Amino acid sequence: MQLTDLTAVQLLDGYRKGEFSPVEATEQALERARRIQPEVNAFVRLTEEDALARARDSERRWRRGEPAGLLDGVPVTVKDILLLRGHPTLRGSKTVSDQGGWDEDAPSVARLREHGAVFLGKTTTPEFGWKGVTDSPLSGVTRNPHAPSRTAGGSSGGSAAAVALGAGPLSLGTDGGGSIRIPAAFCGIFGLKPTYGRVPLYPSSPFGTLSHAGPMTRDAADAALLMDVIAAPDARDWSALPPAPGSFVAALEGGVRGLRVAYSPTLGGQVAVRPAVAAAVRKAVASLAGLGAYVEETDPDFSDPVEAFHTLWFSGAARLTQRFSPHRRRLLDPGLREICTQGARLGALDYLAAVDVRMNLGRRMGRFHETYDLLVTPALPLTAFEAGEEVPKGSGLRRWTGWTPFTYPFNLTQQPAATVPVGTDDDGLPVGMQIVAARHRDDLVLRASHALYEAGLTLAGS
């Protein structure tokens, strides 16, 4: 049996029944990680010795019938933006030294450790997670598991590639403008950006309250299980939400019958969507209707907030590098260096004007969700393009935000949003659909996503 093909839920069921052990699962996951690394470059480093030690401890607990928590013995990976105790977190940057104690876990990593998860390693990210593809001066280019000449997306591209290829069923990613949902769409996996504050962050992101942490998994059931572990308050994050009102796993049941779903194929004609993407998403939307949802084709009432997003994003980048010496600045990704320069020219009034746009957008979406439970859009208007490029060749676009118009608005509004894989284009590249709900309704996003998986209507189930 290839344990690398199993979800976390299936692994736990096998541990419980004594069919296989956490050591076997970890060994197979590590072997898979080593095998895929030369071609896709999903990892900054593997933590093999620690992983096997934790797996052996887990195996002993399962033999006693005393698992430590909800994910005891499950192999997981962690994006190299998040702290993992005992190992450097270099954030894709040559400007970060690997020296230091590295004696602290990020909140979500700490919760995984408490629940017995096995850490396989740290996954690749662009420098400080600044863009929607994964390449960096430190660790090179991360490639798509379906076509290595194409990008895996970003900024959590290493996590997406690892999950897609069986190097652990669970990964922790971060999302400041689509960085979970973009690579999930390009790599054909499930990715959830939870409501802001639902999963605590520490250290805080240089991009402020745009950045969320969340699960990247094989399916929605695994994401719900992971959320039950990581969605817990942590005193180090002053903006963390109180405990969730109930279990995310329990909330999966119930399907979509009776839910009011708004389907916006182009955000009111603002986005040019490739035909294969549009067709796959429309088919999945029809499936939601077939499962009993009330679907209406309509658009949320907002214009593209990209300039406000750029103001917040670029100024965050400028603040991050404000005290860098000329030597350190020369080490940066040239694109990052460019937006830092732009951000440094912005003033307080520019920033506050962007905050006004953000608040207006949040108010509009709050009113929108008084009528509709869910908003459904394509996750992206295209499928994976050339690896090593910030934008598709010949597109005329300048920045990654030019091809991600469906994702970053919901970082501005802090809403929960997920990518569900719903098909492929003519080249066999995955297509993702985005499901968005009102703030604090992560349960509805997971429930609708799970309904598609249960009905066999996702890429994974096709």
Number of helical (H) and strand (E) elements in the chain, helices listed first: 14, 15
Residue 462's pLDDT is what? Answer: 38
Tell me what pLDDT residue 48 has. Answer: 98
Q: What sign does the CA torsion over 391, 395, 401, 403 have?
A: negative
pLDDT at residue 460, as a whole number? 54
Architecture of domain 3-307+338-454: Alpha-Beta Complex (3.90)
* Gap between the Cα atoms of 377 and 396, Å rounded: 24
pLDDT digits (tens, 9 = 90+) for 408-449: 999 999 999 999 999 999 999 999 999 999 999 999 999 999
Give the whole-angstrom CA distance, residue 223 versus residue 215. Answer: 6
Q: At what angle do helices 442-454 and 220-230 cross, to 10 degrees?
A: 150
Of residues 93, 136, 159, 179, which has the active-site annotation? 179
Query: Residue 274: what pLDDT?
Result: 98
pLDDT the model gives residue 109: 98
Q: What is the mean pLDDT of the chain?
A: 97
Cα dist. 207→104, 123, 316, 368 in Å?
21, 20, 5, 26
Average pLDDT over residues 447-460: 87
Residue 461 has pLDDT above 60, yes or no: no
410: helix, coil or strand?
A: helix
pLDDT tens digits along 309-332: 999 999 999 999 999 999 999 999
Catalytic site includes residue 179:
yes
pTM listed for this prediction: 0.98
Q: What are phi and psi of 44, to 5 degrees?
A: -80, -45
Region 454-459: mean pLDDT is 80
Which among 21, 58, 79, 205 is annotated as catalytic? 79
What DSSP letter does each residue of 221-235 carry, written as one string?
A: HHHHHHHHHH-S--T
Distances (CA, A) of 423 to 99, 101, 284, 285, 383: 44, 45, 9, 12, 11
What pLDDT sits at residue 228?
98
Average pLDDT over residues 140-151: 98
When pLDDT is averaged across residues 168-184 and rounded to a whole number, the result is 98
pLDDT for position 207 = 96
How buried is residue 40: exposed, middle or buried, by Cβ count under 10 Å (0-12/13-18/19+)? Answer: buried
Q: Tell whether the torsion through CA atoms of 233, 249, 125 and 33 is positive or negative.
A: positive
Note the pLDDT of residue 459. 65
Handedness of CA 35, 129, 213, 446 (dihedral sign): negative
Considering 58, 155, 159, 205, which one is annotated as catalytic?
155
Whether 240 shows a pLDDT value over 90: the answer reads: yes
